Chains A and B, each alone.
Chain A
Amino acid sequence: NAGVTQTPKFRILKIGQSMTLQCTQDMNHNYMYWYRQDPGMGLKLIYYSVGAGITDKGEVPNGYNVSRSTTEDFPLRLELAAPSQTSVYFCASSYTRDSYEQYFGPGTRLTVT
């Protein structure tokens, strides 16, 4: 099992550009999450999904969009990138809502200049 994989590892965007951060898990987990982590801070939940076709907002959803067409994939879309979106983005998954362990991908380090 590869676990949770994310691409790209690093990306530099110019203000106003758009991009999609990819996340794939091969553990057949129903629940998937997107977090952002600013330097020296904890993780903030952007969006999450409880299964294919179902997504919901987290604490900081503005400026982002998600979709969940399959169990395995949960891409995060940034439209009109802004410097405030410079951060490290982590995707995570868990089997059920009652699963107390989330499995994290390696992260994508994004810089918007």
Chain B
Amino acid sequence: GQSLEQPSEVTAVEGAIVQINCTYQTSGFYGLSWYQQHDGGAPTFLSYNALDGLEETGRFSSFLSRSDSYGYLLLQELQMKDSASYFCAVRNTDKLIFGTGTRLQVFP
């Protein structure tokens, strides 16, 4: 079977750093992606890790450890606009398998 686990909700204050974890169990693995989705909106791509290590894109970073079947998304200098749901997704040949998402609420 295939499954991805994420915390259901995370809260933080503006300017803080937050880490959203994702553990996965899949029959095939080609990479771990992260998507952001604001309420009522469509998912938008944030980052992708195919190899172990840290990928940095501005305030967002993503990490992957294939041996631990684990990754995380790190959001720095949080802003109110970062309040959204964040999904990890595993690429399995032609498809993406999505986690159930982590709702991030940023407070002033």
**B73-101 interface with A by 8 A CB criterion:** 87, 91, 93-101
**Does A43 lie within 8 Å of B98, measured CB to CB?**
yes
Cβ-based interface call for B107 (8 A)? no
A97 to B91, CA, bound (A): 9
From B11-19, B42-50, B64-72, give the one contacting chain A.
B42-50
Our pick among A40, A44, A90 for the contact of B43 (Cβ within 8 Å) is: A90
- CB of A110 to closest CB in B, whole Å: 15
Contacts A41-B101, A42-B87, A42-B101 given; does A97 touch B94 at CB 8 Å: yes
- Interface size class for chain B? 20 to 34
A41 to B100, CA, bound (A): 5
Chain A residues contacting B87 (CB-CB under 8 Å) are 42-43
**Does B42 lie within 8 Å of A102, measured CB to CB?**
no
A45 to B99, CA, bound (A): 12
Our pick among B42, B93, B95 for the contact of A45 (Cβ within 8 Å) is: B95
**Does B98 lie within 8 Å of A58, measured CB to CB?**
no
Q: Report the nearest A residue to B87, measured CB to CB.
A: A42
From B42, B50, B101, name the one whose CB has the most chain A CB atoms within 10 angstroms. B42
Cβ-based interface call for A48 (8 A)? yes
A26 to B101, CA, bound (A): 29
**Does A48 lie within 8 Å of B42, measured CB to CB?**
no
